[in-house]
A and B are shown apart, each in its own frame.
Chain A
Amino acid sequence: MKKAKVENKIDLTFELNGQPYHLTVPPTYRLVDILRTDLQLTGTKISCEIGRCGACSVLLNGKVVNSCLVMAYQIQLSTIETIEHVSHQSLHPIQQAFLEEGGLQCGYCTPGMIIALKDLLEQNQQPTDEEVFEHLSGNLCRCTGYTGIIRAVQRYREVVNKKEEIQ
């Protein structure tokens, strides 16, 4: 005879990528599960699942977090932005810079990198190298050796500088 499996669920209301959402999920779900499994937003990646690699980075109330460490109840009434939304109108200039400077290879770390950088660049358009290194030290990349990523940030700064000059 099969044993029944009992599971509590919780109701969640939050805003994701500009849209309101209502979901019922087990409280043990992590934000990364909700995104990848329930909502099929697979741009957010998983790799270590212990908050070490940054592949699962998303913006929660405007701040970068590791979605593998965020439990379902913690997103109640919050605002979340994932990689899918970053280019909803056009490529973000940092995405463009990644393309031009070889900031990605396999691309698996890339959404997390872009999210982390977006968070930084929104606070500070002209971060110093040190600030960039500090901010990205929680995002691992195994392919690029980070050099392309650094070039991409430099490129971004150049573009922003030029724009400012024109204005």
Chain B
Amino acid sequence: MKELNKNEYKSKWRIRPDGHDKVTGSLKYLTDYCFPNMLVGKVLRSSFPHAKINSINTTEAEQLEGVEAIITYKDVPGMNRFGLIFPDQPVLCEDTVRYVGDAVAAVAAISEEIAMKALSLIFVEYEPLEVIDSPDKALSSQMKLHPAGNVLHRAGYKNSEYVLDELKKCPYIVEETYETPRQMHAYMETEGGVVVPENDGKLTVYAATQHGFKDRMQLARILSIPESNIRVISSPIGGSFGGKDELNIQPYAALLAIKTKKPVKLHNKRTESVRAGIKRHPMKMTMTTGANEEGKLVGHIVRIVADTGAYATLGPAVLDFAVEHSTGPYIIPYVDIEGVSVFTNNGVSGEYRGFGGNQVTFALESQMDRLAELLQINPLVFREQNLRKADDPGPLGQRIVKNDGARSVLTMIKKSPILTQPLKTEPLNVKGRGVAITMHGGGLGFGRPDPSGARLSLTKDGEIEIAFGFEEFGQGLLGSIEIMMMEALGCRKEDLKIVIGDTDLVPSSGSSTASRSTNMIWNGIQKLKEPFLNKILDEAASYTDTTRDLLYLGGKGIWRKGKIDQLIISYYDLANYLSDKLPIFHTQFHFPTTPDAVIGGHYLYSFAAVAAEVEIDQLTGRVKVTKMDHCVAAGPVVNPLGYLGQIEGGAVMGLGFTINEDSVMENGRYHTQNLDSYLIPTIKDIPKEMKVFVDESLMEGDVFGPRGVGEIGTVAIAPAVTAAIHDACGLWVKNLPVSSEEVLDALTINAFVEK
């Protein structure tokens, strides 16, 4: 166990390569770009959460001076649908709107004011339909939101016919229903970008995405042009957290740019981003969990209903993930899990950091605490005696890479002063502390195409160039690549050229998602390093007439070992010498998957434990998390500063999920339309003390390298905090975000009972 900080990591603690340009404001984000003759695009979104479109009249808007193009579904030359897996979302709606973010028309004009004015002059005749604003309604209604009905996806896992029978025999049973909010990604940079029609008939798309190649493929389908005619430039990005993986403004800007033959910029206003953007799936989870006299878990029945909103996006995969993570790192002999993902007229739910794990982990860990209380044993001891062992199978019974992370994080968190030191009491506040753990799969899972790739070369300018199709959205990818390259090759950062985020320049590496990038980068470099080193050293040896074994790569160029090591040829000179036969190596490989045919089942997992201390204001019921410790087991730490940032940032995002974030909808419309009513944590809302500890070890034979930590920092926060709330006031929180009224009620009851 090691604390993740500057002192422990010394020289590995490195300034990020994109840092300078970010602190000085000189970095151009894609939404900062401007081009000559650029037009401003705006999208007209649906006036109703559910309605038939009877007509769309654009005549008046077209006559407004300064308007250069207006598009409706009639202007979509190819497939009028998008969606990462199931293309079911209309680019521009033809006859029906299914949520308030649905696009009906789009405008390009010479200024934003004119574009806005034009939107107000587009007349759409709607015929409002019944609004299905909850999964319950959707499941019972005759109204079908999609031709195949209102169920998007069902998923489940059952390992025995006798789950209910076994549960009935349990002396200790807890049954509860939990609900979690529609969390918004709230990236500071809202969706946007510019699409530029080039002279050669090609299209350059400057817009944020987590998967440039997937955007290109979908755009080609919509625009009906070959993929090779589209170039997607997709980094740097001002935050994503899963929220920009799906197409957002790209199709509109592209259609308008093609129609006007001019660059078109679209940058969503926050209110539009709220309305149209995807959110975390709200889930309702009923869990019945039983334990025997010895305190061993016996049975676990789980029913999950996910509100996927109007369109599919990654709804099915999120549900699969939730099902898989419903048992967490525990061994439960009798398990029966069923989930359903339901279409509604609410905002579209899609990919979000943690990918369905956060919701079920909150429910599962709450169950663990309740059972421990019933059994009157320490919640950590209860967890410990039910914990998976290193070589136990994964949650779906699939083989996974041997890993003792669960025990490791549990052992680490036990030592947290939050749990071991006595709570300081204060007159007006009550305090409490809690703990939770999680196990989180990386990569897309069995049965899903999850390829990756990399390219390593020496450029004619003498730079060692490494290229990936990943995106930098703040997570620190560039820094991680730099560190891994320097470690693998022995060169300096000045010798490197890192290329990402441009489909014309990089190999396809798959999506920057599912905590896969760090792992895939490490793997890519491992695969390319040998051939590259061999080639370079061979060439250097023959050119300088030196024994190859004495040579190695270092700063500036190739060095010869000796009494005093000597630079014998610089990369630049070597590149010159090689001129037209510069070495270039490619690799394509797949994210490691379990050998067992379990759809969506993961193979590599990481683990985390969280301890939290809360302070509750007795007068207002307001909960403040005052301390938080995090322990993570995810293999070697590649980039300490980046790793720490991911865990800290993830933790505070998890805190928002727990304490105050909810995109409140009624009748399919948002009440919380901007950051004044949708409250993400501010600097005053975070714990004053926060520490991160890591276990970097991998088990013998684990050749899979460092796991990504993009998601794991968010997952176990909610249950740790709610356990602390229970400790403080006796309330078992069932619904997130925590309601101060409920807390206050619990405090009042306590006061009453005490008297």
A interface residues with partner B (beta carbon < 8 Å): 1-5, 26, 28, 36-37, 40, 42-50, 52-53, 55, 82-84, 86-87, 91, 95, 98-111, 114, 129, 132-134, 136-150
Interface 0/1 of B628-651, CB less than 8 Å to A: 000000000000011011001111
Are B682 and A140 in contact, with the CB atoms below 8 A?
Answer: yes
Q: How far is the CB of B300 from chain A (nearest CB, A)?
A: 32
Are B25 and A83 in contact, with the CB atoms below 8 A?
Answer: yes
CA of A28 to CA of B113 in the docked complex: distance in angstroms?
10
Q: How far is the CB of A18 from chain B (nearest CB, A)?
A: 16
Q: Which of B162-170, B181-189, B279-287, B378-386 is the interface stretch?
A: B181-189
27 A–B contacts, CB within 8 A, in A order? A5-B66, A26-B113, A37-B34, A42-B28, A43-B26, A45-B188, A47-B188, A47-B189, A47-B270, A83-B24, A84-B25, A105-B476, A106-B189, A107-B18, A107-B474, A108-B238, A132-B683, A133-B684, A134-B684, A140-B675, A142-B187, A142-B653, A145-B651, A146-B681, A147-B648, A148-B644, A148-B648
Q: Per a CB cutoff under 8 Å, which of B22, B26, B185, B270 touches A49?
A: B270
B interface residues with partner A (beta carbon < 8 Å): 6, 15-16, 18-29, 32, 34, 63-66, 113-114, 185-190, 236-239, 241, 267, 269-270, 473-476, 641-642, 644-645, 648-653, 674-676, 680-684, 686, 688, 690
Are B24 and A109 in contact, with the CB atoms below 8 A?
Answer: no
Q: How far is the CB of B56 from chain A (nearest CB, A)?
A: 21
Q: Per a CB cutoff under 8 Å, which of A42, A44, A53 touches B675?
A: A53
Which A residue's beta carbon lies closest to that of B188?
A108
A5/B188 contact (C-beta < 8 A), A133-B683, A145-B648, A145-B651 known: no
Inside 8 A of B648's CB, which chain A residues have their CB? 144-145, 147-148
CA of A28 to CA of B117 in the docked complex: distance in angstroms?
14
Q: How far is the CB of B641 from chain A (nearest CB, A)?
A: 5
Q: How far is the CB of B615 from chain A (nearest CB, A)?
A: 16
Are A144 and B649 in contact, with the CB atoms below 8 A?
Answer: yes
Which B residue's beta carbon lies closest to that of A7?
B113
Q: Per a CB cutoff under 8 Å, which of B186, B238, B474, B686 touches A145?
A: B686
CA of A2 to CA of B118 in the docked complex: distance in angstroms?
12
Which B residue's beta carbon lies closest to that of A26?
B113
Are B645 and A105 in contact, with the CB atoms below 8 A?
Answer: yes
Q: Closest 7 A-B residue pairs measured CB to CB? A: A43-B25, A106-B474, A107-B22, A145-B652, A108-B238, A83-B25, A42-B32
Are A111 and B65 in contact, with the CB atoms below 8 A?
Answer: no
Inside 8 A of B19's CB, which chain A residues have their CB? 98-99, 104, 107
Q: How far is the CB of A33 from chain B (nearest CB, A)?
A: 8
Residue among B20, B188, B237 with the highest chain A CB neighbour number at 10 A: B188
Are B649 and A143 in contact, with the CB atoms below 8 A?
Answer: yes
Are A141 and B188 in contact, with the CB atoms below 8 A?
Answer: yes
Q: How far is the CB of B668 from chain A (nearest CB, A)?
A: 23
Are B269 and A107 in contact, with the CB atoms below 8 A?
Answer: no
Q: How far is the CB of B642 from chain A (nearest CB, A)?
A: 8
Are A148 and B645 in contact, with the CB atoms below 8 A?
Answer: yes
Are A5 and B683 in contact, with the CB atoms below 8 A?
Answer: no
CA of A102 to CA of B4 in the docked complex: distance in angstroms?
13
Are B675 and A107 in contact, with the CB atoms below 8 A?
Answer: no
Q: How far is the CB of A48 from chain B (nearest CB, A)?
A: 4
Q: Per a CB cutoff under 8 Å, which of A2, A43, A82, A149 touches B683?
A: A149
Inside 8 A of A26's CB, which chain B residues have their CB? 113
Q: How far is the CB of A127 from chain B (nearest CB, A)?
A: 13
Which B residue's beta carbon lies closest to that of A112?
B188
Are B680 and A142 in contact, with the CB atoms below 8 A?
Answer: yes
Are B24 and A105 in contact, with the CB atoms below 8 A?
Answer: no
Are B65 and A5 in contact, with the CB atoms below 8 A?
Answer: yes
Residue among B239, B241, B476 with the highest chain A CB neighbour number at 10 A: B239
CA of A101 to CA of B15 in the docked complex: distance in angstroms?
8
Q: Per a CB cutoff under 8 Å, which of B21, B649, B651 touches A105?
A: B649
CA of A145 to CA of B645 in the docked complex: distance in angstroms?
8
Which B residue's beta carbon lies closest to that of A94?
B23
Are A102 and B239 in contact, with the CB atoms below 8 A?
Answer: no
Q: Per a CB cutoff under 8 Å, which of B20, B476, B686 touches A99?
A: B20
CA of A1 to CA of B23 in the docked complex: distance in angstroms?
49
CA of A50 to CA of B270 in the docked complex: distance in angstroms?
9
Are A106 and B188 in contact, with the CB atoms below 8 A?
Answer: yes
Q: Per a CB cutoff under 8 Å, which of B23, B63, B675 touches A91?
A: B23
Inside 8 A of A91's CB, which chain B residues have their CB? 20, 23-24
Q: How far is the CB of B389 from chain A (nearest CB, A)?
A: 33
CA of A146 to CA of B653 in the docked complex: distance in angstroms?
11
CA of A5 to CA of B115 in the docked complex: distance in angstroms?
12
Are B270 and A48 in contact, with the CB atoms below 8 A?
Answer: yes
Which A residue's beta carbon lies closest to that of B690?
A147
Which B residue's beta carbon lies closest to that of A88?
B24
CA of A110 to CA of B676 in the docked complex: distance in angstroms?
20
Q: Per a CB cutoff under 8 Å, which of A44, A99, A147, A148 touches B25?
A: A44
Q: How far is the CB of A144 from chain B (nearest CB, A)?
A: 5
A137/B682 contact (C-beta < 8 A), A3-B63, A99-B20, A110-B23 known: yes
Q: Per a CB cutoff under 8 Å, which of A5, A82, A102 touches B641?
A: A102
Which B residue's beta carbon lies closest to that of A151?
B6
CA of A84 to CA of B688 in the docked complex: distance in angstroms?
32
Are B25 and A106 in contact, with the CB atoms below 8 A?
Answer: no
Q: How far is the CB of A112 from chain B (nearest CB, A)?
A: 9
Which B residue's beta carbon lies closest to that of A115?
B25
Inside 8 A of A98's CB, which chain B residues have their CB? 19, 23
Which B residue's beta carbon lies closest to that of A107?
B22
Which B residue's beta carbon lies closest to that of A86?
B24
CA of A93 to CA of B325 in the docked complex: distance in angstroms?
45
Inside 8 A of A142's CB, which chain B residues have their CB? 185-188, 239, 241, 649, 653, 680
Inside 8 A of A49's CB, which chain B residues have their CB? 269-270
CA of A141 to CA of B238 in the docked complex: distance in angstroms?
11
Q: How far is the CB of B401 from chain A (nearest CB, A)?
A: 29
Residue among A1, A4, A5, A105 with the highest chain B CB neighbour number at 10 A: A105
Are A4 and B22 in contact, with the CB atoms below 8 A?
Answer: no
Inside 8 A of B241's CB, which chain A residues have their CB? 142
Which B residue's beta carbon lies closest to that of A110?
B22
Are B34 and A40 in contact, with the CB atoms below 8 A?
Answer: yes
Inside 8 A of B65's CB, which chain A residues have their CB? 2-5
Q: How far is the CB of B118 from chain A (nearest CB, A)?
A: 11
CA of A44 to CA of B405 in the docked complex: distance in angstroms?
43
Inside 8 A of B190's CB, which chain A residues have their CB? 47
Inside 8 A of A28's CB, which chain B residues have their CB? 113
Inside 8 A of B18's CB, which chain A residues have their CB? 107
Inside 8 A of B674's CB, which chain A residues have their CB? 48, 50, 52
Inside 8 A of B650's CB, which chain A residues have their CB? 145
Inside 8 A of B641's CB, which chain A residues have their CB? 102
Q: How far is the CB of A141 from chain B (nearest CB, A)?
A: 7
Q: How far is the CB of B10 from chain A (nearest CB, A)?
A: 13
Inside 8 A of B24's CB, which chain A residues have their CB? 43, 83-84, 86-87, 91, 95
